[in-house]
Structure 1
Amino acid sequence: MNPTVYLVDDDPGVLTAVTRLLTSDGLATCPCSTTRAFLDAYDASMAGCVVLDLSMPGMNGLELQALLRERGVGCPVIFLSGCGDIPTSVRAMKAGAIDFLTKPVDGATLLDAVRRGISLDEEVRRSRVDQHDAQALLDTLTPREREVVPYLLAARLNKQIAADLGVAEKTVKVHRSRILHKLGVRSLVDLVHFMERVERQAGTPPSWGPPASPTPRFASNAR
C-alpha cells in the first residue's frame, strides 16, 4: 500500500491547498479538519507521516503529538503553523517532530519535509520487520543450540565447547552446523554480524549470556 500523508488542520483553505500540492506530487493524502477525525482515520498498518497544525479547537497539535507518543504511535510529525514561536517549535522538536514549518510555506520545503517523514517511517518499519524475521530464526534453535551460540561468538574451539558442556566434539560440530544453517549464515564472522544486528535492533543483548571464561568474540582460527 502507498504511504499516506495525514493532514490535520481546521482551515479548509489550507487543507485544500496542501492536499493539491501533495497529490500533484503523487502522494496519497487523508485531510482531517479535527484531531478527532484524524484519530478515527489513522491506520497504523500504513506507512506515512502527519502534517499537523499547531492551534486548533479542542485538542491542539502539541496535545495530539503527546497523545500519539503515549499510545506508542511512531508516525513522524511535521508541524505546519501560522502562529508558532521559538519556544513552541523547540518544544515540538524535543517531543520528536521532524520539522516545524510556518505558514505560508514554500511548496518545495513542505514536500521535502514530507518525503523525509515518509522515508523515516518506512525505514523504522523495515527495521521492525528485520528484527521480527531475525527473532523468528532465533526461535528455531533448540535449547542446546542456544546454549552453544555464546561459545561460538566467543570463538571457542569445538573441543573446548565439548569439554565445557560435557558432550562429544562431533556433537558440537553438528550443533554448530545446524545453528549456521538455521540462522542463514555461512561462517562464524557472519554469525557475529547477525547477532550484533539483532542486538542493535532490539536495543538489548540476547537473553543468553556469554560462556564462562570467554575468549575474544571472534578468532580466525576457530574450528
Structure 2
Amino acid sequence: MSADVIVHIVDDEEPVRKSLAFLLTMSDHAVRVHESATAFLAIASGLDRACLVTDLRMPDMSGVELLKKLREQDAMLPTIVITGHADVPMAVEAMKAGALDFIEKPFEDEVLLEAIARAIGELGKQENGGHDSGAVRERMTRLSEREQQVMTGIVAGLPNKTIAYDLDISPRTVEVHRANVMAKMQARNLPELVRMVMAAKTD
C-alpha cells in the first residue's frame, strides 16, 4: 500500500513481533522488527518516512518512556501503542507523550491496519493533531456539566464503574452520558476523544 513507508514494530515478545510483521507484510507494508525499545532508539534518529507500533509494557523501558526519549532526540514518529485492558490510563499518558493512537488487546486485524493507515496519513501532514481545536472547544461547550465530568473520567482512562462511584451515579447512567459525549464530540472511539481533548488543551 505505502511501500515507501516502513512500519517499525517494537515488542519484547517474539511471537507478537512475528504475528504483527506477518499481518502487515501481507497487507503490503514494509516492516522492520525490534526486540527492545533500546534497540529501536539506536536507529531512530536516522529514520525517514516511518511509523512505529510499540507495546506499552516492556522490560527495558515502557512505551511512554520510549516516546519521551524519541521526543528528546527530535526523532518523533507517528506512533501506535498496543496495550492491555488494565493499561488504559498509561496509554492515555502515552498519547500525552505524543502517541497518535492506542489499541487495546485483543484487537481485530482491521483495527491495527486502520491505525497504521492513519499514522501513514499523518506523515503527509505538516503538523500533528488533525483536529481544529476551536471546533473541539465549541463542541465541549455543548456538553452538560455531568457530561463534562464523565468525559474527564473517560479521558483519564477510568472504567465506567469507577466514574459512577466517583460521581455517585449508576454505571448505566455513565453509559448514557458516555454515549452522549461521544456523539456531541463527534469522536468515533476513545483514542480520538483523547486526541480532541488534548488538542483543545494544548492549543
TM normalised by structure 1 equals 0.52
1:113 corresponds to which residue? Answer: 115
1:193-204 to structure 2, matched below 5 A, reads none
Residues paired across the two proteins, number = 125
- Distance between the aligned counterparts of 2:28 and 2:85, measured in 1? 29
Partner of 1:36: helix, strand, or coil? Answer: helix
Q: Which AA in structure 1 matches 2:6?
A: T
Partner of 2:124: helix, strand, or coil? Answer: helix
Instruction: Assess if the C-alpha contact under 8 Å between 2:41 and 2:70 holds in 1.
Output: no
- Distance between the aligned counterparts of 1:78 and 1:45, measured in 2? 16
| 1:121–1:71 CA distance, 2 compared to 1 (3 A) | same
Tell me if 1:70 matches 2:60. Answer: no
- Distance between the aligned counterparts of 2:98 and 2:47, measured in 1? 20
Q: Which AA in structure 1 matches 2:110?
A: A
- Distance between the aligned counterparts of 1:117 and 1:61, measured in 2? 17
Instruction: Assess if the C-alpha contact under 8 Å between 1:52 and 1:77 holds in 2.
Output: yes
1:178-197 to structure 2, matched below 5 A, reads none
Aligned partner (choices 6, 18, 21) of residue 19 of structure 1: 21
- Distance between the aligned counterparts of 1:32 and 1:85, measured in 2? 22
1:101 corresponds to which residue? Answer: 103
Which structure's CA Rg is the greater one? 1
Q: Structure 1 regions of 5+ residues with no counterpart?
A: 126-223
Instruction: Assess if the C-alpha contact under 8 Å between 1:54 and 1:62 holds in 2.
Output: yes
Instruction: Assess if the C-alpha contact under 8 Å between 1:79 and 1:99 holds in 2.
Output: yes
Identity %: 37
1:127-142 to structure 2, matched below 5 A, reads none
| 1:88–1:115 CA distance, 2 compared to 1 (3 A) | same
1:172 corresponds to which residue? Answer: none
Instruction: Assess if the C-alpha contact under 8 Å between 1:84 and 1:102 holds in 2.
Output: no
Aligned partner (choices 76, 79, 83) of residue 81 of structure 1: 83
Instruction: Assess if the C-alpha contact under 8 Å between 1:48 and 1:117 holds in 2.
Output: no
2:44 corresponds to which residue? Answer: 42
Partner of 1:74: helix, strand, or coil? Answer: coil
Deviations 1:69-110 (CA, angstroms, capped at 9, x unpaired)? 111123111101236433212211122211111222210010
Cα offset for 1:63? 0.5
Cα offset for 1:43? 5.8
Deviations 1:181-220 (CA, angstroms, capped at 9, x unpaired)? xxxxxxxxxxxxxxxxxxxxxxxxxxxxxxxxxxxxxxxx
Q: Which AA in structure 1 matches 2:79?
A: V
Instruction: Assess if the C-alpha contact under 8 Å between 2:44 and 2:70 holds in 1.
Output: no
Q: Which AA in structure 2 matches 1:68?
A: L
1:55 corresponds to which residue? Answer: 57
Instruction: Assess if the C-alpha contact under 8 Å between 1:54 and 1:80 holds in 2.
Output: yes
1:4 corresponds to which residue? Answer: 6
TM normalised by structure 2 equals 0.57
| 1:41–1:74 CA distance, 2 compared to 1 (3 A) | closer
Q: Which AA in structure 1 matches 2:4?
A: N
Partner of 1:85: helix, strand, or coil? Answer: helix
